[in-house]
Amino acid sequence: MSDIPAVEVSGLVKDFQTSFRGPKLRAVDNVSLRIEPGEVYGMIGPNGSGKSTTMKALLGLVKPTAGTCSIFGKDSLKVDSRNDVGFLPENPYFYKHLTGAETIKFYGKLCGMRGAKLKHRIDEMLNLVGLDDARNRALKGYSKGMLQRIGLAQALVQDPRLVILDEPTAGVDPSGSREIRDLILELKNRGITVFLCSHLLEQVQEVCDRVGIINHGKMVRQGKLDDLIALEDRTEIVLENASPELLDQIHTLVDVTYGVDMISEGNPRTTLEDLFLRETKPRRTVTKKRRKRTNS
Amino acid sequence: MSSSNKKTQRQRKKTSFISPRRILIIAQSTVTQLVRMKVFYFLAPIAAVFVGIQFFDAPWYAGPEASQPQQELQMHKNLCLGTMMLFSSLFAIVSTALLIPRDIEDRTLYTILCKPVPRLDYLVGKLLGVMAVVFIALAVMDMILVVTLHFRTGAVLADLEPYLQKLGWPQELVDEKLDEISAHGPTMTLQYGVLAYFFKASVIAAVALLISTFSTSTLFTIASSVMIWIIGAAQNIARQGLFEQGGLAEDSGPIAKILATLVSLLFPDFQIFDSVAEAATRAADISSEQILQLGGFTFFYLAIYTVLSWFVFSDKEF
Ligand SMILES: Nc1ncnc2c1ncn2[C@@H]1O[C@H](COP(=O)(O)OP(=O)(O)OP(=O)(O)O)[C@@H](O)[C@H]1O
Ligand SMILES: [Mg+2]
């Protein structure tokens, strides 16, 4: 439609002053990414790799040390950019004294909604996240998953064109997280851009068009999901009801063929998970420590 | 769906720098928050004290024979206004100090600031919310004060009139005396005194707002706001000490003057509010211009502190 990207992050660097005079901690190191309108983009990475920090910079909650972020062409540091975006922070906390319906009403009003339209929207949102029954209960009595759901409803209240979800399924039960996955797919069908990060790689693989893998603040791999996880020099054969004899035959066949190696065997794993582990594996600090301990 | 989507997109215009409607929404939510924190329960014991004072005679009160029966009423007003001042100031400090650091700690602020809400709107909304609750609390206390004072004035007058008549005062003189006493009852002047304390509490709330934008804990905010409150009350005395007590002031004139000006910029001179309230308890004349001036002064301080808070807050990261 137009060539304005939904999200554009270019050369983002973010340093945190962790102690009063100590060295700065580089949480995000020269990350660039671009999300086209209508796309679902997944960011994955180990704990503390800078996913949430990137999202916060995109929402203007932290100021970049270097680089720029924009949403639909509007600079993230300007309030204007927040008109078209809904954000679900990790561990969302809201005013505990408000009920579910009041919470959505509050955020709807902040977005400039009012009257019958807002009222209708509140019902719609509560229904969408399955909190109809709890609408008149105060949030202090909500469970973790329920808070996550109300956070999702709050993010979607003004029908934004971009939704940023920081671990939308954290603390949500399996069926709930499946519902959230379906919801993301529905948003995608409606042409809404989604930027999410999650540790549930299967889900990321199911819903995302493109993924980026971030490690120690650096973007290590980025691209179309299908391209990333396709391993052209490898073939996976998935068999059902294969007899031991057949497997033996395959083994011998592989053994006698020059240049072919059997790399792994077993139940198939999610390939994104494989990729993730491969890209983020070298945790040298951990292994070094362990080695030291065994030496002494 | 797509048509409605388009419509909403067209409706989304530029977010204005400051929007009264959004400020009102935040102020409203602040009031709800404070109300649900059950702050108004504190009003019950205070009301009980006000009513209790009613039945408490000043030790020097000698009945209608006293040369100055209005002292009885003055004591009543002194006690009540003093309580109102303490309560409203402390309340302004504590509630402001509780609200913003808590929003940051609980990360509620994340979700608010990622909606199209300018940070200034958030600050002004919080401040107005606290001021509204202080206003309501003061209004309730004021009502109780007016009612109790009304009855007490009635009682004093009812005692005094037959006594003066028995002494053989001519009726005009009796009426004059009664009018004089009535001036110490619930009058407009008294309302000015209450208003002065509302202004004072508002300025204190703005101070607490500024402190809470850079402090990281509730306790620090409360402690330092209380300190400023006390310094503000004491600075008039200090300034008098610097300038009006001979030698010292003449020697270190310019430096001391600059110092005092700096101090008065940092610490608002709460004496101005106190003196108006004190005049109100004495039933002295307070002109409406004086009140307007006081209002202007209040507004000036609120604006300064809000802008300073905004400077600190707009650079803040979460
Ligand atoms: N406000 C802050 N002050 C100091 N350091 C911070 C701050 N926020 C984040 N960091 C640091 O920046 C790094 C990246 O944090 P971030 O929250 O972005 O990680 P993440 O990828 O979201 O991790 P997780 O998967 O655990 O949510 C971490 O090392 C963290 O300690
Ligand atoms: Mg995170």
State how far the Cα of B156 lies from the Cα of A75, in Å rounded to an integer: 70
pLDDT at A192 over 90: yes
pLDDT tens for residues B26-69? 999 999 998 888 878 877 887 787 777 766 665 555 566 666 77
Ligand 1 atom 28, closest CA: A48
State how far the Cα of A270 lies from the Cα of B272, in Å rounded to an integer: 73
Name which residue leads in pLDDT, B104 or A166.
Answer: A166
Per cent of chain A over pLDDT 90 is 40
pLDDT tens for residues B162-218? 888 888 888 888 888 888 888 888 888 889 999 999 999 999 999 899 988 888 778
pLDDT tens for residues A125-171? 999 888 889 999 999 888 888 888 899 999 999 899 999 999 988 87
pLDDT tens for residues B271-304? 888 888 888 888 788 888 889 999 998 999 899 9
CA B308 to chain centre: 21
Q: Is B108 on the interface with A (CB under 8 A)?
A: yes
Predicted structure pTM score: 0.82
Q: Is B253 on the interface with A (CB under 8 A)?
A: no
Contact between A216 and A49 under an 8 Å Cβ cutoff? The reply is yes
Band (pLDDT 50/70/90 cuts) for residue B226 is confident
CB contact under 8 A, B110 and A87: yes
pLDDT at B16 over 70: no
Q: What angle do CA A244, A246, A248 make, to 5 degrees?
A: 70
pLDDT tens for residues B263-276? 666 677 788 888 88
CB contact under 8 A, A95 and B108: yes
CA A155 to chain centre: 15
Nearest CA in chain A to B112: A107
State how far the Cα of B182 lies from the Cα of B283, in Å rounded to an integer: 10
Give A60's contacts in chain B (Cβ within 8 Å): 113-114
DSSP chain A: --S--SEEEEEEEEEEE-SSSSPEEEEEEEEEEEE-TT-EEEEE--TTSSHHHHHHHHTTSS--SEEEEEETTEETTSGGGGGGEEEE-SS----TTSBHHHHHHHHHHHTT--HHHHHHHHHHHHHHTT-STTTTSBGGG--HHHHHHHHHHHHHTT--SEEEEESTTTT--HHHHHHHHHHHHHHHHTT-EEEEE-S-HHHHHHH-SEEEEEETTEEEEEEEHHHHH--TT------SS--HHHHHHHHHHHHHSTT------SS---HHHHHHHHHH---HHHHHHHHHHHH-
Q: What angle do CA B56, B58, B59 make, to 5 degrees?
A: 115
Contacts of B224 (CB under 8 A, 6+ apart): B211, B215
pLDDT tens for residues A55-73? 999 999 999 999 999 999 9
Q: Is A268 on the interface with B (CB under 8 A)?
A: no
Which one of the ligands is nearest to A215 CA? 1
What is the per-residue pLDDT for A296?
41
Band (pLDDT 50/70/90 cuts) for residue B15 is low
CA distances from B166 to B161, B163, B169, B174, B180 (A): 9, 5, 8, 11, 19
Band (pLDDT 50/70/90 cuts) for residue A123 is very high
* Structure token digits, residue B173: 């003189």
pLDDT tens for residues A7-66? 999 999 999 887 777 788 899 999 999 999 999 999 999 999 999 999 999 999 999 999
The residue assigned the tokens 């300007």 is: A78
pLDDT at A288 over 80: no
Contact between A219 and A32 under an 8 Å Cβ cutoff? The reply is yes
Mean pLDDT computed over A96-100:
91
pLDDT tens for residues B116-146? 899 999 999 999 999 999 999 999 999 988 9
* Structure token digits, residue A225: 């999901």
State how far the Cα of B39 lies from the Cα of B266, in Å rounded to an integer: 29
Give B14's contacts in chain A (Cβ within 8 Å): 80
What is the per-residue pLDDT for B61?
56
Hey, which residues does A28 pair with through a beta bridge?
A14
Contact between B207 and B287 under an 8 Å Cβ cutoff? The reply is no
Band (pLDDT 50/70/90 cuts) for residue A241 is confident
Ligand 1 contacts (CB < 6 A) are: A 16, 18, 25, 27, 45, 47-53, 90
Contact between A62 and B96 under an 8 Å Cβ cutoff? The reply is no
Chain B 34-73, residues with CB within 8 Å of chain A CB atoms: 36-37
CA distances from B201 to B5, B92, B123, B135 (A): 46, 6, 17, 9
Q: Is A110 on the interface with B (CB under 8 A)?
A: yes
Give A92's contacts in chain B (Cβ within 8 Å): 107, 110-111
Mean pLDDT computed over B248-272:
68
By residue count, chain B amounts to 318
Contacts of B76 (CB under 8 A, 6+ apart): B53, B54, B148, B149, B152
pLDDT at B3 over 80: no
Contact between B114 and A85 under an 8 Å Cβ cutoff? The reply is yes
Ligand 1 atom 27, closest CA: A47
State how far the Cα of B95 lies from the Cα of B99, in Å rounded to an integer: 6
Contacts of A114 (CB under 8 A, 6+ apart): A108
What is the per-residue pLDDT for B2?
42
Q: A interface mutation test: which of B21, B106, B110 has the most A CBs within 10 A?
A: B110
Compute, in degrees rounded to 10, the torsion defined by CA atoms A150, B31, B28, A123.
30
Residue B266, sorted as left (phi over 0), alpha (psi -120 to 50) or beta, turns out to be alpha
Contacts of A253 (CB under 8 A, 6+ apart): none
Contact between A161 and A155 under an 8 Å Cβ cutoff? The reply is no
Q: How many CB atoms lie under 10 A from the CB of residue B287?
A: 9
Ligand 1 atom 24, closest CA: A47
Q: What angle do the packed helices B218-243 and B188-214 form, to 10 degrees? A: 120
Question: Which among A60, A83, A107 has CB closest to B111?
Answer: A107
For B160-189, b/e burial (b = at least 16 CB within 10 A) is bbeebeeeeeeeeebeebeeebbebbbbeb
What is the per-residue pLDDT for B7?
41
Ligand 1 atom 31, closest CA: A48
State how far the Cα of B288 lies from the Cα of B221, in Å rounded to an integer: 35
